Amino acid sequence: MTPDLSTPSRHQLHEDIFAILIGTTLVSLGIVFYAQVTLITGSTAGIALLLQYATGIPFGWLFFAINLPFYVLAVLRMGWPFAIKTFVSVALVSWFSVHFPDWLDISSIHPLFAALVGGGLIGLGILSLFRHKASVGGINILALFLQENFGIRAGYFQLGVDTVILLIAFFVLPFDRVLYSVLGALVLNLIVALNHKPGRYVGFS
């Protein structure tokens, strides 16, 4: 018997937990690739990476702190379940990004590989979180809010914001690293834009 895909089925708690663990693991691994070769990404993760390169403060601490103000919007506009899952996701990415280098020794990685594969990993991780009503905070919260309330594609909005961050990166990073980062950002946002569309994914939390 063919299941009725027109009727959304609610995500169970264990499904949300599994998706958040998988999503944050993918995002964190992509961030580790980026940090290894001094690349940049968008949203609050990009801001945290820029600050890490400039100050030496670990990404995890910066990422967690930068996202704190956005939880107000998450609670007011997206509800407590979304805010709680997003807080947990941000905390996990912050923690994983600090500890992954202790568990994974990357002696050499080509910047192009890091950009394309790292961007793909981050994009897939964000997609996993989006589909379970969570995010990695910051601009992702605003992107989801705009999509769900005004029909603006989350991926396209994110791409616009990321473009601004990448332009700023030209004043901080070597030229070639910014170009590699642009390729990574395109991969990341295309994954989200092409796969996270209203009505395409019927499960909800």
How high is the pLDDT of residue 202? 47
SS (H, E, C) the chain: CCCCCCCCCECCHHHHHHHHHHHHHHHHHHHHHHHHCCCCCCHHHHHHHHHHHHHCCCHHHHHHHHHCCHHHHHHHHHCHHHHHHHHHHHHHHHHHHHHHHHHCCCCCCCHHHHHHHHHHHHHHHHHHHHCCCCCCCCHHHHHHHHHHHHCCCHHHHHHHHHHHHHHHHCCCCCHHHHHHHHHHHHHHHHHHHHHCCCCCCCCEC
Integer angstrom CA distances of residue 159 from 111, 122, 152, 185: 21, 14, 12, 8
Most confident region among 89-103, 136-150, 183-197 by mean pLDDT: 89-103
How high is the pLDDT of residue 196? 63
For residue 6, report the phi and psi dihedrals to the nearest 5 degrees: -80, -15
pLDDT in tens, 42-77: 888 888 999 999 898 999 999 999 888 888 777 877
Task: Provide the pLDDT confidence category of residue 126 given band limits of 50, 70 and 90.
Answer: confident
Give every CB contact of residue 196 below 8 A, 6+ residues apart in sequence: 127, 130, 131, 147, 153, 154, 155
Integer angstrom CA distances of residue 40 from 48, 141, 161, 199: 9, 20, 13, 32
Q: Summarize the confidence of residues 152-158 as an average pLDDT.
A: 78
pLDDT in tens, 23-38: 999 999 999 999 999 9
The tokens describing 53, both together, are 């390169």
The amino acid sitting at 147 is Q
How high is the pLDDT of residue 197? 58
How many CB atoms are located within 10 Å of the residue 112 CB? 14
Q: Say if residues 85 and 119 touch (Cβ distance below 8 Å).
A: no
How high is the pLDDT of residue 1? 45
Is 25 buried (19+), middle (13-18) or exposed (0-12) by CB count in 10 A?
middle
Q: Summarize the confidence of residues 89-98 as an average pLDDT.
A: 91
pTM of this structure: 0.80
Please indicate whether residue 12 or residue 114 has the higher confidence score (pLDDT): 114
The C-alpha atoms of residue 139 and residue 44 are separated, in whole angstroms, by 7
